[in-house]
């Protein structure tokens, strides 16, 4: 099970592109509405989340959590106890956590990026407490995958696919969508 957390003000492309790629690869992904079942992105595109925050189950079936960026989506995610609990649960068990754009700031503020390589949207680096800021657009350091912003939503999504299904599956998917 993969949970993608959505809150009002999320960046639509940063959520929907990786969501699409993961589902094409065969992942069971549930979008989680943190601010309600209908979640409106930062560009007024509304989506219906698969489940509400109270329906999140953190157990051995959890394979990954994903935090799209956008403002105020990231601050809305950061204000959620459910999101913080899921991050803690995943981090303690080595479960992959993906965050893009402003969302890596949540991981940084919680101390999970200290001593790790990471990237975020320019201007949010101050929140990546103790992180080694990378020049790469998508960075994997152990179970943490961070990405710079909307312009790298496709490579970010493919990196998430690779984490779950391997590089060969990610490459096949890349070829199929880039043809």
Q: What is the pLDDT of residue 93?
A: 98
The span from the CA of 162 to the CA of 83, in Å, is: 23
Instruction: Evaluate whether residue 177 is within a structural domain.
Output: no
Instruction: Evaluate whether residue 52 is within a structural domain.
Output: yes
CATH number of the domain within which 11 lies: 3.40.50.880
pTM as predicted: 0.97
114 lies in which domain range? 2-170
Q: What is the pLDDT of residue 80?
A: 98
Under 8 Å between Cβ of 69 and 7: no
- Closest by Cα among 92, 77, 81 to 143: 92
Beta strands of 11-128 (E only): which ranges?
29-33, 38-40, 46-48, 51-52, 64-67, 96-100, 117-118
Q: What is the pLDDT of residue 92?
A: 97
Instruction: Tell me how many domains the chain contains.
Output: 1
Tokens 């189950």, residue located: 57
Instruction: Evaluate whether residue 154 is within a structural domain.
Output: yes
Say yes or no to pLDDT of 1 above 90.
yes
Would strands 144-147 and 96-100 be described as parallel, antiparallel, or unpaired? Answer: parallel
Instruction: Evaluate whether residue 73 is within a structural domain.
Output: yes
The span from the CA of 133 to the CA of 152, in Å, is: 17
Instruction: Evaluate whether residue 64 is within a structural domain.
Output: yes
Instruction: Evaluate whether residue 175 is within a structural domain.
Output: no
The span from the CA of 103 to the CA of 124, in Å, is: 9
Instruction: Evaluate whether residue 77 is within a structural domain.
Output: yes
Instruction: Evaluate whether residue 179 is within a structural domain.
Output: no
Which residues have a Cβ under 8 Å from the Cβ of 59 and sit 6 or more positions away?
none
Q: Which two tokens stand for residue 63?
A: 């394979």
Q: What is the pLDDT of residue 114?
A: 97
Say yes or no to pLDDT of 13 above 90.
yes
């Amino acid at each position: 099970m993969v949970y993608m957390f959505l809150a009002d003000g999320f960046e639509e492309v940063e959520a929907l592109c990786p969501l699409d790629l993961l589902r094409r690869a065969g992942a069971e992904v549930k979008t989680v509405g943190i601010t309600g079942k209908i979640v409106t992105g930062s560009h007024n595109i509304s989506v219906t989340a698969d489940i509400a925050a109270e329906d999140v189950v953190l157990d051995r079936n959890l394979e990954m959590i994903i935090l799209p960026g956008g403002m105020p989506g990231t601050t809305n995610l950061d204000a959620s106890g459910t999101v913080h609990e899921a991050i803690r649960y995943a981090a303690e068990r080595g479960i992959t956590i993906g965050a893009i754009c402003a969302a890596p700031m949540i991981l940084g503020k919680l101390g999970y990026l200290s001593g790790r390589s990471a990237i975020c949207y320019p201007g949010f680096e101050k929140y990546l407490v103790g992180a080694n800021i990378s020049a790469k657009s998508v960075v994997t350091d152990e179970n943490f995958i961070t990405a710079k912003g909307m312009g790298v939503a496709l490579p970010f999504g493919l990196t998430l696919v690779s984490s779950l299904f391997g590089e060969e599956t990610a490459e096949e998917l890349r070829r199929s969508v880039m043809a």
